[in-house]
Chains A and B, each alone.
Chain A
Amino acid sequence: MKQVILDPTDERVPIRRTLAARSGEIRGRVAMLDIAKPRGDVLIDRLADHLIDRLPGVEVKRYRKPTFTKPAPDELRRRIAEESDFVIEALAD
């Protein structure tokens, strides 16, 4: 006799997106996202210094999540997407 069980998972099929084309160079606007973890800002500061030193063609802009415990608010993600060509996110301590 065939056994039947019901699927306990989310059955939605995720939308597949292709990665943006890689230009081979870093130029333009770079978003530096601090997730608000302790000392995340220290890492971001050092990275920003290095980027500016080595890549004169980039403009660094800083963003910060209100709290590391929650996903970035929609409005913050929208701003980053509109205002940036690259994003560097310091994930955790």
Chain B
Amino acid sequence: MENASASSLPAFTLLDGSGNGRKFPTGRVALLCFVKEDCPTCGITMPLIEAAHRAIGTSVDVLVIGQERDGNDKLVTRHHLTAPMLDDSALNVSFAYDLDTVPTVILADPAGKQLRRFIGFAREDWRGLMTELARQSGTAVPALDWNSMPELRPGCGSKSVAPEIAERLAAEARGERMTARRIELGDQEDVFEFMFERGLTDGLPVVPPTPERVRWMLTATRRDPREVIATAPPNLAPVTVEKLAINAVMAGARPEYLPVVIAALQAVCTDEFNIHGVMATTWGATPVIVVNGPIRNALGMNMGMMALGYGTRPNATIGRALKLVLRNVGGAKPGDIERSTLGAIGKFTTCFAEWEERSPFEPLHVERGFKKEDNVVTVFGLEAGSRQIADQTSRSARALAGSLGLGLEACWHPKQHGSGEVLLVISPEHADTIARDKWTKAQVRERIQEVTSRPLRELIPDEESGEGVPLKSMGLANPSADQLAQKIPKFRRPEYINIIVAGGEAGKFSAVFAGWVSGPMGSSSVSRKIEEAP
């Protein structure tokens, strides 16, 4: 039993079994009894509640507050209840009273101040209460077989704290309202098949976005669900927090991932990133998402073994959530505006973290001007899948960086030089080889440029291979011998070689995500701080 407290209880009006509104405070002493039908301890308590009503109901308002509409009717019938049963199946009063447990029994004075509160069932609490109320009312203590009752029984969880329901109640209490259209399915409809048929999935099943799950997702953000956080191409559709949360639920994400998805969406929906082009291109590009900062560990993101593969929920679902919202809200659907000739499996999701702790270099986000403790998402418009570069024998940073450079030369086409951004993911074993010689990222980039530099004559389209650097783009109609001997490195600028460390401890293999059209004519990588973090 909790001690008497003089706190004011929330006022309410609930309907009784006859449909009449019953107000609290009532102007008299009142006994509020919160119950639900499937709770055995409530079952033990019901006869006492009814006995109290019969004995002292003329001077004390005994109000039974039931949490389930059907269950309330059953309780009334089962216990021959004459005390008024009030319907709190919406659970707003249970929530306002901050109930954890039923039965909860509260004695209140005529002004609605709490005098006493019991939780669960304790025989002596009830016996004391009955005696006191009978004395105050000048009536006899009801004759009850106290010895047949258990001494103590714990209560059951209040329905208002059940998962999903609690989030709805909290959202309603904050005055938040979700505005997305509610789609009602028939009893016999299979919700998974329905979502396939409506073209709402990426080809794999999605988690049905029920209002409860979406509310749960929204618990991760302080933003109003109606806030527009981005305009998504190609349809230039406004994306609200709620629409993003719906698609994040479908992707299988947990609420704590939502701030990362918000930041990723805002990063791609910029003119610099140009998600329209990344999705629409006949090349198989996709937003490649890299996460930095403490949030990697908080979310349990994979940055080690299989980091670029599968099997980890945040990696799999953050990227998938971004793709689903671009599809369902933005309108970028395969075969429609998303028009890749071949596509690549990374179009489902490409998201991983940098293993900052295992890297000899500055992390990506610090290199881009953020603090180490900032949580940052970086998006790259790159090929939707990595290719691996093996070098199991180099023992120096110079030799290894040379191998990585030769591996990078195949990106797009070996004869395409003056290329744009790529993302080089260096594995821990390769990072160790580079660290032993104390090489910086700048030295690795310089070596890649050095080893890939080729004379123009080897790069122009010819009968051996019609692709390459077009002379027209160089402004050279009739190049001189000197001009043809001029060496061109693979990348237009060394900083287009983005470098991070990730991957398993064993294996002398690194990987590269090849680029698409880079810079103002195509897509530039964008880093964005994750504003809300768990």
Chain A interface (Cβ < 8 Å from any Cβ of B): 1-12, 38, 66-67, 69-71, 92
Contact = CB atoms under 8 A, between A and B. Distances in A.
Contacts of B9: none
B243 interface: yes
B441 to A, nearest CB: 28
B331 interface: yes
A74 to B, nearest CB: 11
Given A11-B181, A69-B517, A70-B276, 11 more contacts: A2-B184, A3-B189, A4-B183, A5-B191, A6-B180, A6-B182, A6-B214, A7-B183, A8-B246, A10-B235, A67-B522
Given A3-B191, A69-B523, A70-B274, A10 B181 contact: no
B396 interface: no
6 contacts: A3-B189, A3-B191, A4-B210, A6-B183, A6-B214, A67-B522
Given A2-B185, A67-B522, A70-B276, A8 B243 contact: yes
A63 to B, nearest CB: 17
Interface string B503-534: 00000000000000100111100000000000
Contacts of A71: 233-234, 276
Interface residues of B, number: 47
B191 A69 contact: no
Contacts of A38: 470
B178 interface: yes
Nearest to B210: A5
B246 A69 contact: no
A22 to B, nearest CB: 27
Interface string B216-255: 0000000000000000111101100011001100100000
Contact of B200 (A9, A10, A12, A69): A9
Contacts of A9: 200, 328-329
Contact of A4 (B185, B235, B250, B274): B185
Complex A-B, nearest 8 residue pairs according to Cβ-Cβ distance, in ascending order: A69-B277, A10-B237, A7-B181, A6-B180, A67-B521, A3-B185, A8-B328, A8-B246
A5 B178 contact: no
B345 to A, nearest CB: 23
A83 B491 CA distance: 41
B8 interface: no
A6 B209 contact: yes
B463 interface: no
B282 interface: yes
Interface string B276-320: 110001100000000000000000000000000000000000000
B187 interface: yes
B181 A6 contact: yes
Interface in B455-497: 470
B10 interface: no
B324 interface: yes
B522 to A, nearest CB: 5
A1 B187 contact: yes
Given A4-B183, A11-B180, A69 B281 contact: yes
Contacts of B21: none
B205 interface: no
A34 B271 CA distance: 21
A69 B331 CA distance: 17
A69 B522 contact: yes
B27 interface: no
Nearest to A11: B181
A26 to B, nearest CB: 29
B211 interface: yes
* A4, A9, A66, A70 pick with most chain B CB within 10 angstroms: A9
Contacts of A66: 521
A92 B280 CA distance: 12
B359 to A, nearest CB: 32
A92 B281 CA distance: 10
B27 to A, nearest CB: 40
B200 A8 contact: yes
A10 B184 CA distance: 18
A4 B184 contact: yes
Given A67-B522, A69-B517, A5 B277 contact: no
A61 B206 CA distance: 49
A8 B209 contact: yes
B208 interface: yes
Contacts of B329: 8-10
Contacts of A69: 274, 276-277, 281, 517, 521-523
Given A5-B209, A8-B250, A10-B237, A92 B282 contact: yes
Contact of B237 (A5, A7, A12): A12
B333 to A, nearest CB: 11
Contacts of A4: 182-185, 210-211
A6 B522 contact: no
Given A10-B329, A69-B281, A5 B276 contact: no
Contacts of B214: 6
Contacts of A7: 180-183, 246
B461 to A, nearest CB: 11
Given A10-B331, A66-B521, A70-B277, A5 B187 contact: no
Nearest to A38: B470
Contacts of B178: 6
A5 B208 contact: yes
B331 to A, nearest CB: 7
Nearest to B516: A69
B277 A6 contact: no
A3 B208 contact: yes
Given A1-B187, A2-B185, A69-B522, A8 B281 contact: no
